[in-house]
Structures are given as C-alpha cells and as structure tokens.
Amino acid sequence: MNNVTKKWLLMRVSSVVLIPLMIWFILNLVSVFNKDYIEIVNFFTTQPSKILVSLTLVFAYFFSALSISEVFEDYIQDEKIKNVANKVLNIFAILVPLITIIVIFNLN
C-alpha cells in the first residue's frame, strides 16, 4: 500500500471514529454550557468524560494534521519548506492533545 493510499484510508477511518465522538462532545458541551465552574470540573473529572474527551482530542488532531498535510502537499512547492511545515504540524498535533490530556487527568 503506497503512502497516498495509507493517508486516504487513515483520514477516512479517523473521520468515521470522530463522528460519534463529536456528537457526544457537542451534546455534552451544550449540557455544561450554563453550568458553574465546579459542575464543569466535575464533568471533566469523571472517568468516562476524561477518556472520551482524550479520544476526541487525539482523533481530531490526527485528522486535522492529515488534512493540513494534504494542503501542504498541494500548495507548497519547495520540498524543504514542505518538510519543515509537516514536521512542525506533527509536533503540534502531538503536543497540544498531550498537554490537554495531562491537564484533564490532573483535574481534581
């Protein structure tokens, strides 16, 4: 399987996984929208919420990194700039969800 086919397949799989996660996230975001701080922290400290928010973040950043990488492939002609842009994108796609997940799991 070549690289383009793998990317295409990974984008499709991650988008299918994101659909139920985003539905869950949006429904819960609406339910905690007018709550006070303590209730929101309580929501994020329950085990199912921690896991589901973490999965949502990981898959959302993974999907967005793949999508933005495709934009780089299409519009950046210089290979060096394209490689640097993809590396920076991948670093952010790993660091941002990781830091957010660490913060969520450290909430009390």
Average model confidence (pLDDT) across the chain: 92
DSSP 11-60: HHHHHHHHHHHHHHHHHHHHHHTT--HHHHHHHHHSHHHHHHHHHHHHHH
With tokens 């898959």, the residue in question is: 59
The per-residue pLDDT for 27 is: 93
Global confidence as pTM = 0.83
Residue 1 has pLDDT above 80, yes or no: no
Q: Per-residue pLDDT tens for 30-49? A: 988 889 999 988 898 899 99
Residue 92 has pLDDT above 90, yes or no: yes
Residue 26 has pLDDT above 90, yes or no: yes
Residue 20 has pLDDT above 80, yes or no: yes
